[in-house]
Amino acid sequence: MSRRLFLKNKNNPVINPKDMPGDIMYTLNPGAIKHNGEYIIMMDAATAHGPIVFWLARSSNGVNFSIDAEPPKWPSCSSDYKECCVYDPRITRIDDEYLIMFASASKEFGTSLGLVKTKDFVEFERIEQERIESPIRNGVIFPEKINGRYARLDRPMKGERERSNMFISYSDDLVHWIDPKPVMDTRPGSWDRYKIGGGAVPIKTDRGWLEIYHGVADTCNGFIYSLGVVLLDLEDPSKVIARGEDAALWPEHDYELTGRVPNVVFTCNAILEKNRTVKIYYGAADTSIGLAEANLDELIEACHKKNAYLGKFFS
């Protein structure tokens, strides 16, 4: 086997439920950003008595995290939308604001996308979204406007177990999202054959938008969630320049194979360092959080190579 793209931290998992205050059973699927030189993770935290809530952790070195004593005060929705659960936040910085897009569940509307903004990760303000009838998840806002409009990757869905693909939508005001276009489909016989969706906030490079996305394979005993890489056109991100054939990160260790949802690695973030290292914090088996690192240039090259890092290991 060739050298791995992503190297997992030897101290993984870097955040466990036992590290959390209170009765947190699972920690998973964090958004992450670097703010004023500090690494900030916004993770899903599942409690013993209620739904998932968001919880913040902070670090000076990106490995050792201090967990906030309590979850942030999350802004409420308008009176006609009763949000009962939030999860999978993606944090995008545009100018001096951070936009946090996340899955928002309600009994009336099912699963849709919510949006909150902050400047300091202390005070948060809700941006009300236009409600649509069809479920939609995996909303990822690009870090700059494209042709004068906000852009996001998303995944329209018919149901949790329905095959689904990645789309892109646009907005003038962050409220109404229009002009959806397909970006890419699942691939029969591959590690991403059942479902795909946006993962990290795209990284702008001189060769295209680098997107670290998640893919799902169906097996006789359930699903396997892995991560892959794709390059999208800078001016029209609905166009795929190159898509890596192999998975870039996959579940293999006990903490990724066993947990609330087994056989899962899932990311909502990517932090590009000055030395061109890309850090991702990822949910492992929907139970804990791991850290993996790769070189930006190698991730870009992997989009163009076939069977470069891992053979077709799913049958």
- For residue range 211-235, what is the model confidence (pLDDT) as tens digits? 999 999 999 989 999 999 999 999 9
Q: Which residue ranges make up each domain of the chain?
A: 7-304
Peptide bond into 182 cis (omega under 30): no
- The pLDDT tens digits of the residues spanning 48-72 come to 777 899 999 999 999 999 999 999 9
Residue 126: band (very low, low, confident or very high) from pLDDT cuts 50, 70, 90: very high
Taking residues 38-53, report their average pLDDT.
Answer: 91
Cβ–Cβ under 8 Å, residues 227 and 233: no
Residue 308: band (very low, low, confident or very high) from pLDDT cuts 50, 70, 90: very low
Please report the pLDDT score of residue 162 as a whole number: 67
Kindly report the pTM of this predicted structure: 0.94
Res. 143: pLDDT tops 80: yes
Res. 273: pLDDT tops 70: yes
Res. 314: pLDDT tops 90: no
Strand-strand pairing, 178-184 and 195-197:
unpaired
Taking residues 82-98, report their average pLDDT.
Answer: 94
Res. 129: pLDDT tops 70: yes
Residue 85 has phi, psi (to 5 degrees) of -160, 145
Res. 81: pLDDT tops 80: no
Torsion angle of the four alpha carbons 150, 151, 155, 157, in this order, in degrees rounded to the nearest 10? 40
Burial 243-265 (b: 16+ CB within 10 A, else e): bbbbbbbbbeeebbeebebbbbb
- The pLDDT tens digits of the residues spanning 190-216 come to 999 999 999 999 999 999 999 999 999
Residue 161: band (very low, low, confident or very high) from pLDDT cuts 50, 70, 90: low
Please report the pLDDT score of residue 105 as a whole number: 86
Q: State whether the Cα torsion 101-102-103-109 is positive or negative.
A: negative
Cα separation, 281 vs 270, in Å, equals 7
Res. 264: pLDDT tops 80: yes
- Residues 6 or more apart whose CB falls under 8 angstroms from that of 187 comprise 193
Strand order in the sheet with 136-141: 136-141, 150-156, 166-171, 178-184
Please report the pLDDT score of residue 17 as a whole number: 96
- The pLDDT tens digits of the residues spanning 243-256 come to 999 999 999 999 99
Please report the pLDDT score of residue 102 as a whole number: 96
Residue 135: band (very low, low, confident or very high) from pLDDT cuts 50, 70, 90: confident
Q: What angle do CA 241, 243, 247 make, to 5 degrees?
A: 160
More confident residue, 82 or 186: 186
Neighbours of 68 (CB within 10 A): 15
Retrieve residue 34's tokens: 């670097």
Residue 127 has phi, psi (to 5 degrees) of -110, 105
Q: What percent of the chain has pLDDT over 90?
A: 81
Residue 159: band (very low, low, confident or very high) from pLDDT cuts 50, 70, 90: low
Please report the pLDDT score of residue 133 as a whole number: 62
Query: Which numeric CATH code is attached to 7-304?
Result: 2.115.10.20
pLDDT, the chain, mean: 92
- Please, what's the largest Cα pairwise distance for the chain? 55
